Amino acid sequence: MVEVKNQVINLKMYIDGEWKDAENQETRPVINPANGEVIAYAPEGTIEDARAAIFAARTAFEDGVWSGLSAQERASYLFKIADKIDQYADEFTRLETMDNGKPLREAGFDVADAAACFRYYAGLITKPDGYTYHVADPIQAMVVREPVGVCGLIVPWNYPLLMSVWKIAPALAAGNTIVFKPSEVTPVTPKKLFEIFEDVGLPKGVANMVIGAGPVVGNEVASHPEVDMVSFTGGTKTGKHIMKAAADTMKKVSLELGGKSPNIIFADADFETAVDYALFGIYAGAGQVCSAGSRILVEESIYARFVARFAERAKQIVVGPGDDPSTEMGPLVSQQHLEKVLHYIELGKQEGATVACGGNRIVHSGLGKGYFVEPTVFIDVKQEMRIVQEEIFGPVVVIQKFKDEEEAVKLANGTVYGLAGGVFTNDGAKGLRVIKKLRSGITWVNSYHPTYNEAPWGGYKQSGIGRSLGTFGLEEFQEIKQININLQVEPIGWFSN
């Protein structure tokens, strides 16, 4: 369980139903990004810790303590977990804000959505699946879905609780056992989630958590032959490494990776609505969202007006600690990430782009110890610039102009990514026409960012492989088996003697 000494949380890993320190007894500090203070110490997991978790998951799967339960029995556990998340919602919200830095209102939405995700998959797993098909008599043929086996789940730091649940809920619903690795930067709320797993009586070995560095723990999970599947959310560079690590064992791979998503604003759009959603599209989560609308494409006839209004409103965004109710945008997650975002801002200036607003670290008003960056807007950009092509993952947006639909689509599709995209127009036919041409997996018309447990999440091109959420997300954690039953049991007579 969580131990608190002088308000600093001492975290442990959860392996085979027991709370454990790292095998080497090493720890790393977990930092509150709003003030730079240590809020927890997390185990620095080793390869040996990862292997212990993998062995526990494999044993539990082979013993059938979870996969052998009926769908209704597994669903009952998931419903209990959802109820417990609701019961501890305030604590989860506070810990999420302290751990990640996001404002309380954002954290609160994430917690509620996490509970809803468990309920969604608890309900879905008890619904009809599989099918029969007609073949020549006397064969009765059918298809059934079965759990993959041991699933390695690796999640990022931008949604510590919610991204965990997006993988854990369908994986458990399908009957798998799991080895879960939270981000070593934000392990606090995942630890609380595993306390709930213990509280509801999840069988030992079914859900295991190893906290540690990606190159150590994550690589072992991705490469180990006893792991049947690895599901990863994070940067495209890391996703490529995981794909290579998984190749030798031919395990199933699901990757939800980066984005550089376009938000297209046509002149006939409702202007204030387009501005409002464009702000939300990039500055929600301080831009630390894989689907962020980090490229705003504006029809040239309204470009100047849009830039002026967007920059005016961006300057008014209240930036501060997540636990301040007046805060609208929180800090970046870490010193390392702060330096990365500031580097891209300097790079944009060097490339010749113009800063329309922002561009600086915030050190006034008592924010100097945190990792705060002003909402930043670049204009006068060119398609080949790195700030246009590469994922910055911060509160930095580029605004480009286009002449017509054809150019808008060409610019929108002109990166290696294909995660998300939006279109704003009052012409319904044009909106659908353009959306269908975007090489993106998640799209909106006259909206940006709302997502749903019922709908698939994932991208085209280098934004990933596979889909999370919805029925598609459950199927990621299932194997498909063909069964053929002979209803006329007699010799086939293929050979004469």
Active-site amino acid positions? 256
Of 344, 149, 168, 386, the C-alpha closest to 251 is 149
Contact 329, 395 (CB under 8 A): yes
Burial of 346 (0-12, 13-18, 19+ CB in 10 A): exposed
Q: What values do phi and psi take at 419, rounded to 5? A: -85, -55
Q: What CA–CA distance (Å, rounded) separates 457 from 251? A: 21
Helical (H) or strand (E) element with 46: none
Question: CA of 337: how far to CAs of 52, 332, 340, in Å?
Answer: 31, 7, 5
Of 60, 396, 413, the C-alpha closest to 264 is 413
Q: What CA–CA distance (Å, rounded) separates 185 from 159? A: 11
Helical (H) or strand (E) element with 38: strand 38-43
Opening angle at CA 401, ends 399 and 403, nearest 5 = 160
Of 451, 341, 337, 358, the C-alpha closest to 101 is 337
3-state secondary structure of 28: strand
Helical (H) or strand (E) element with 19: strand 18-20
Preceding amide of 203 cis, omega within 30: no
Q: What CA–CA distance (Å, rounded) separates 10 from 295? A: 41
Q: What CA–CA distance (Å, rounded) separates 193 from 204? A: 15
Q: What CA–CA distance (Å, rounded) separates 312 from 289? A: 23
Count other Cβ atoms within 10 Å, centred on residue 280.
Answer: 16
3-state secondary structure of 145: strand
Of 12, 34, 162, 184, the C-alpha closest to 92 is 162
Opening angle at CA 74, ends 69 and 79, nearest 5 = 160
Contact 42, 211 (CB under 8 A): yes
Q: What values do phi and psi take at 220, rounded to 5? A: -65, -40
3-state secondary structure of 291: coil
Task: Show Cβ contacts of residue 494 under 8 Å, excluding neighbours closer than 6 positions.
Answer: none
Query: Which DSSP category does 285 fall into?
Result: G
Answer positive or negative: Cα dihedral of 162, 163, 165, 166: positive
The tokens of 194 are what?
């595993």
